[in-house]
Amino acid sequence: MQRLNEESLETLIVTQMSEGGWATGAPGNYVASYAIDLEHFAEFIESTQPDLLYSLGLVSETPTRHKFLARLQGEITRRGVVHVLRNGIDHLGLHVDLYYPTPAAGNPKAAEYFAANRFVITRQVHHSVSNPGDAVDLVAFVNGLPIFTFELKNNITNQTAEDAVQQYQRDRDPREPLFAFGRTIAHFALDDQRARFCTELKGASSWFLPFDQGFNDGAGNPPNPDGVMTDYLWRRVLAPQSLAGIIENYAQIVVEKSQKTGKKVSKAIFPRYHQLDVVRQLLSDVEANGAGRRYLIQHSAGSGKSNSIAWLTHQLTEATHAGRIAFDSIIVVTDRIILDSQLTQTIKSFLQVGSTVVHADRSGDLRRAITAGKKIIVTTVQKFPYILDDIGADHRDRTFAIVIDEAHSSQGSKTSAAVSRALAGVEADEEDTVEDRINRIIEGKKLLTNASYFAFTATPKNKTLEMFGEPVPNGEGGTSFRPFHSYTMKQAIQEGFIIDVLSNYTPVGSYYKLMKTVEDDPEFDAKRASKKLRAYVEGNEHAIAQKTDIMVEHFLAQVVAKRKIGGQARAMVVTSSIARCIEYFHAIRDALAARKSPYKAVVAFSGEHEYKGLKVTEASLNGFPSNAIAEQVKTDPSRILVVANKFQTGYDEPLLHTMYVDKALSGVLAVQTLSRLNRAHPAKRDTFVLDFANDAEEIQRAFEPYYRTTVLAEETDANKLHDLVNDLDAFGIYTPEQVEEFVSRYLAGERRDQLDPLLDTSVAEYIELPEEDDQVKFKGDAKAFLRTYNFLSTVLPYGSTEWEKRSIFLDHLVPKLPAPKEEDLAAGILENIDLESYRAEKLKAMKIVLDDEDGTLAPIPAAGGGHLSDPELERLSAIVRSFNDHFGNIEWNDADRVQRFITEEIPRLVSEDEAYKNAQANDDPVNARVESDRALSQVMLRLISDDTQLFKEFQDNSSFKQWLASAVFNATYRKSA
């Protein structure tokens, strides 16, 4: 009976690889000093390039052989094994092919050459020059060149892939030729249940990534009824035909240049399983179905979408259907401006001919690129509609692949319409009737039949799912929509590929006390007043100073001092507005300087704004250009990035460890913002969120739909559009004749002075509506119609000229409709109150746990309406009391005594301290503050028995302690001085 040990797994792998087209090698053929299986290398050269056999000295041990092997080793060291396999090498006037690529269909000569490639798997390869007894379990060779190494373990003997990882980290020296960077494609740590790989060994810091299929939307592999769980790796992924595709289209060494230092860094890239799987599934579907399909790919944030898009894009250029190239051009659209140039460079790095990629910056670029036969065009979603409007009308016979990075509603109605009209070549005819033009517009809005859409996102919205998802029966007679492929947040977290940003979430409670500053007691709208009071308090200079102190103290004590991410950790402060962002930047900068910290803050916001009478930009505050922010944050002394609506999406920085949130977040934005922290790093073990503006339940609700695969429960009910049209018509704001006349004139291109009077008539009718509620209802219904129709027009198989006419008319009418005049019954409240006290207090840190089930989204709401709510009037004293009750304050047992003690007794005792008096006498305020704080601590120690509550607040409540220390110092230092 065969023992179920490590050796048996090794035997199984070699046997099954041999059955799948691999030859079995002999360890004695391996030459450790040159890292080559010389026997199989020579046989490959003899069978494919026999004239070179003697020229390269491969027949016998000669100086000629060593000269060639040294040349080969040098080229692999400089460029990597993938490069030399793809391109061969030149040696003394000779060109040596080292590998023959996958043949095109109908090319028997190329097929013959490909069959000459030698795929060899060898057991127990003695790899070390200095320690000849050391051996690695398996090495895979292509034409004698090593491309993968394997260390095997077995769960039955209580050893796992993690033990294999440690073996690589501990026992495999990167200075050995076999383990040097670029010498192989990857190193696999493998057991019978899990697989991990590393592209660059660095001793203890070698970073191994998972290469598992996933199971139940999580980590691991499914049970395999036909063998061990990990045999997909050697039986499918590394089968010769599959491996050839990896060598030719995926594995790569890319060189990245630092904008700041100019230093170039080489990085080896190898696909994760989910990346390889999604690209291959998409290409297979294209081959089967051709152009005209829609695909939604839901891959978790931080899962490597940029590389997946790059691998897909360059292979789509050669994808075929029915014997011909499937797509004439591939257009890559991204709304992540930071990644725009990154995507271009990534795609170029995988292509043999970089000139096939063009970057479309201006109107006309795309048209010229297509006309010139450029295969790949990269652009941003902001520029896309304007570029496409200028393409022309000669592309109906062409096919397109549109690859969308971070697909959301920005890819909806108007952008899709611009895409469709441009690529389909929709143009007008002078003899067209209004109906013809309307029908053409309807057709132009629909997703193209001659284009395939490949939409990538981590957080699909309902519109995105319905537009790009796979329709499936929902079991209730309707249709739901699912992604074509998913790599879930759950799997990415469990695999350790991203960090769980909800595992250390700490809300911060804000506690205020307001007071009336007027004698009388006016009435205000309570609901509006509460919002204004909250905004007033949170934006108060004292509140910002307190929150800043908490952030900076936490960052220095918990992030820097504890050397998070090996002492390289960065933090982000998310603010609610540009004004607040600038205030926080100055407060944090001052707080760091006051603590003599060497670190600095960086600010990020758009445009020019006023701060204390001066016009400022992010560049003027930072002292360097805006486009250098991402690079600056990576390098000291920059450690804290303060942002307002920038870097909350698309920012990929593994050194980001901690986030301080002072902005209300919900839904997709909450997920995208907090997910900036999730990027993995070899030294990153955790993350931390300190949230001043949201609670755990809100954040949990936001993340829940995206933990596993996201599904749209049902499709949007198009019949609701009929209901909305009927409701809108019934208001009498317009007549069908008015709509008809406006649309006719609009499509004829008449000037505004011919169009505005038609709209103004309807505006007058709107204003004359007897009830303000009717105005709110009409405007709400009109917006709901436009929102729903603009979406449905892209996905419905049919169109309606009446809907389209209403859409054109209402699209121009709604912006002209004034908002109902709603009196602000909370106006002036801020002039009648003042902030008496404020404190922020960290609550208990927690791990937010998400439900382990598919997330379900409801369809696009087609209902409109709305109504004015009646104000709830309350006296100012009641509003202030309610506000203080709601947001809390310290409830002292004997408030009057405590107040007297804090304001009189404590300052007196501190001021009598001799060391403190000496520091003041020497006119040394910095040392005086140190002595004041020390004296205060001694005074407070005396209160342990006399005033336990006051002592406990001082010890446990950092905000109160900081406030009291500042108050005592300010009182006593000024008096003494």
Query: How many residues comprise the chain?
Result: 977
Calculate the CA dihedral of residues 573, 576, 577, 581 and round it to 10 degrees. Answer: -20
Q: Which of 585-589, 648-652, 808-812, 967-971 has the lowest mean pLDDT?
A: 967-971
pLDDT digit string, tens, across residues 636-658: 999 999 999 899 887 889 999 99
pLDDT at 51: 94
Calculate mean pLDDT across residues 145-155.
95
**pTM for this prediction:** 0.79
pLDDT digit string, tens, across residues 477-527: 788 999 999 999 999 999 988 999 999 998 887 655 666 666 666 666 666
In a domain, 495, yes or no: no
Q: Which of 272-281, 384-393, 783-792 has the lowest mean pLDDT?
A: 384-393
Distance CA 464, CA 746 (A): 31
Q: What confidence category does residue 284 fall into, taking pLDDT thresholds of 50, 70 and 90?
A: very high
Q: Are residues 547 and 646 in the same domain?
A: yes
Q: Which residue has the higher pLDDT, 915 or 951?
A: 915
pLDDT digit string, tens, across residues 434-488: 666 666 666 566 677 788 999 998 888 888 888 889 999 887 778 899 999 999 9
Q: Residue 832 pLDDT > 80, yes or no?
A: no
pLDDT at 426: 45
Q: Which residue has the higher pLDDT, 654 or 948?
A: 654
Q: Residue 131 pLDDT > 70, yes or no?
A: yes
* Three-state secondary structure call for residue 913: coil
Q: Residue 411 pLDDT > 80, yes or no?
A: no
Question: Residue written as tokens 């998409």?
Answer: 282
Q: Are residues 172 and 312 in the same domain?
A: no
Q: Are residues 638 and 557 in the same domain?
A: yes
pLDDT at 407: 59
Which helix or strand (DSSP H or E) is residue 716 part of?
none
Q: Are residues 661 and 757 in the same domain?
A: no
Calculate mean pLDDT across residues 591-619.
94
Calculate mean pLDDT across residues 209-220.
94
Calculate mean pLDDT across residues 345-372.
66
Residues 6+ apart with CB under 8 A from 31: 37, 38, 69
Q: What confidence category does residue 393 fall into, taking pLDDT thresholds of 50, 70 and 90?
A: very low
Encoding tokens for residue 610?
């006023």
Q: Are residues 683 and 751 in the same domain?
A: no
Q: What confidence category does residue 161 fall into, taking pLDDT thresholds of 50, 70 and 90?
A: very high
Q: Which of 193-197, 711-715, 824-828, 916-920 has the highest mean pLDDT?
A: 193-197
Nearest in space to 124 (alpha carbons), one of 113, 110, 109, 135: 135
Nearest in space to 461 (alpha carbons), one of 669, 654, 303: 669
Calculate mean pLDDT across residues 666-687.
91
Question: CA angle, 541 as apex, 538 and 544 as ends, to 5°?
Answer: 55
565 and 651 in contact (C-beta within 8 Å)? no
Q: Which residue has the higher pLDDT, 228 or 956?
A: 228
In a domain, 647, yes or no: yes
Q: Which of 618-632, 714-728, 792-806 has the highest mean pLDDT?
A: 618-632
Residue type, 764: A
Cα–Cα distance list, 136 to 40, 140, 172, 780, 894 (Å): 19, 11, 9, 70, 75
Q: Residue 337 pLDDT > 60, yes or no?
A: no
In a domain, 258, yes or no: no
Residue 922 per-residue DSSP state: T
Q: Residue 428 pLDDT > 50, yes or no?
A: no
Distance CA 237, CA 694 (A): 45
* b/e sequence 849-887, b meaning 16+ C-beta within 10 Å: ebeeeebebebbebebebeeeebeebebeebbeebbeeb
Of 426, 456, 487, the residue that ends a domain is: 487
* Three-state secondary structure call for residue 155: helix
Q: What φ, ψ does residue 155 adopt, rounded to 5°?
A: -60, -35
What value does the mean pLDDT of the chain take?
83
Encoding tokens for residue 319?
């994808």
pLDDT at 122: 98
Q: Which residue has the higher pLDDT, 5 or 342?
A: 5
pLDDT at 264: 84
Q: Which of 221-235, 332-346, 528-542, 844-858 has the lowest mean pLDDT?
A: 332-346
Q: What confidence category does residue 712 fall into, taking pLDDT thresholds of 50, 70 and 90?
A: confident
Q: Are residues 293 and 168 in the same domain?
A: no
In a domain, 826, yes or no: no
pLDDT at 278: 98
Interhelix angle 925-941/958-976, rounded to 10 degrees, is: 120
Q: Which residue has the higher pLDDT, 252 or 880?
A: 252
pLDDT at 336: 56
Q: Residue 300 pLDDT > 50, yes or no?
A: yes
Q: Residue 799 pLDDT > 90, yes or no?
A: no
Encoding tokens for residue 452?
């395939």
pLDDT at 517: 63
Q: What confidence category does residue 559 fall into, taking pLDDT thresholds of 50, 70 and 90?
A: very high
Q: Which residue has the higher pLDDT, 534 or 85?
A: 85
Give how many domains the chain has, as a whole number: 5
Cα–Cα distance list, 633 to 534, 640, 648, 656, 918 (Å): 32, 8, 15, 9, 43
Q: What confidence category does residue 838 fall into, taking pLDDT thresholds of 50, 70 and 90?
A: low
Distance CA 193, CA 229 (A): 5
Residue 682 per-residue DSSP state: T
Q: Are residues 282 and 355 in the same domain?
A: yes
303 and 681 in contact (C-beta within 8 Å)? no
Q: Residue 889 pLDDT > 70, yes or no?
A: no
Q: Residue 66 pLDDT > 70, yes or no?
A: yes
pLDDT digit string, tens, across residues 571-590: 999 999 999 999 999 999 99
Residue 218 per-residue DSSP state: B
Q: Residue 634 belongs to a domain with what CATH number? A: 3.40.50.300
Q: Residue 88 pLDDT > 70, yes or no?
A: yes
551 and 592 in contact (C-beta within 8 Å)? no
Distance CA 930, CA 212 (A): 56
Interhelix angle 541-554/578-594, rounded to 10 degrees, is: 60
**How far is residue 737 CA from its own chain's centroid?**
49
Calculate mean pLDDT across residues 17-41.
96
Residue type, 517: T
Q: Which of 90-104, 624-638, 860-874 has the lowest mean pLDDT?
A: 860-874
Nearest in space to 157 (alpha carbons), one of 208, 124, 191: 191
Q: Residue 285 pLDDT > 90, yes or no?
A: yes
Calculate mean pLDDT across residues 798-818.
88
Q: What φ, ψ does residue 710 adopt, rounded to 5°?
A: -95, 130
Q: Are residues 55 and 193 in the same domain?
A: yes
Give the domain extent around 685: 505-712
* Three-state secondary structure call for residue 801: helix
Q: Residue 113 pLDDT > 50, yes or no?
A: yes
Q: What confidence category does residue 550 fall into, taking pLDDT thresholds of 50, 70 and 90?
A: confident
In a domain, 265, yes or no: no
Q: Which residue has the higher pLDDT, 719 or 688?
A: 688
Cβ–Cβ contacts within 10 Å for residue 685, how many?
10
Of 784, 816, 848, the residue that ends a domain is: 816
Q: Which residue has the higher pLDDT, 201 or 261?
A: 201
Q: What confidence category does residue 256 fall into, taking pLDDT thresholds of 50, 70 and 90?
A: confident
**How far is residue 588 CA from its own chain's centroid?**
26
Of 661, 684, 712, the residue that ends a domain is: 712
Encoding tokens for residue 369?
């690129």
Q: What φ, ψ does residue 587 adopt, rounded to 5°?
A: -65, -40
Question: Residue written as tokens 């079991």?
Answer: 475
Q: Are residues 152 and 42 in the same domain?
A: yes
Q: Residue 333 pLDDT > 80, yes or no?
A: yes
pLDDT at 218: 92
In a domain, 211, yes or no: yes
Distance CA 716, CA 788 (A): 9
Q: Are residues 742 and 792 in the same domain?
A: yes
Residues 6+ apart with CB under 8 A from 273: 210, 211, 212, 213, 214, 237
Q: Which residue has the higher pLDDT, 364 or 119?
A: 119
Which helix or strand (DSSP H or E) is residue 220 part of?
none
pLDDT digit string, tens, across residues 238-254: 999 999 999 999 998 88
Q: Are residues 430 and 559 in the same domain?
A: no
Q: What confidence category does residue 255 fall into, taking pLDDT thresholds of 50, 70 and 90?
A: confident
Q: What confidence category does residue 688 fall into, taking pLDDT thresholds of 50, 70 and 90?
A: very high
C-alpha Rg value of the chain to the nearest Å: 34
Half-sphere exposure of 888 (CA within 13 A, CB side): 7
151 and 140 in contact (C-beta within 8 Å)? no
Q: Which residue has the higher pLDDT, 154 or 392?
A: 154
Q: Are residues 688 and 723 in the same domain?
A: no
Q: Residue 890 pLDDT > 60, yes or no?
A: no
Distance CA 531, CA 855 (A): 32
Establish whether the linkage from the previous residue to 637 is cis, with ω within 30° of 0.
Answer: yes
Distance CA 674, CA 456 (A): 19
In a domain, 440, yes or no: yes
Calculate mean pLDDT across residues 760-788.
87
Question: For a pLDDT cut of 70, what percent of the chain falls above it?
Answer: 78
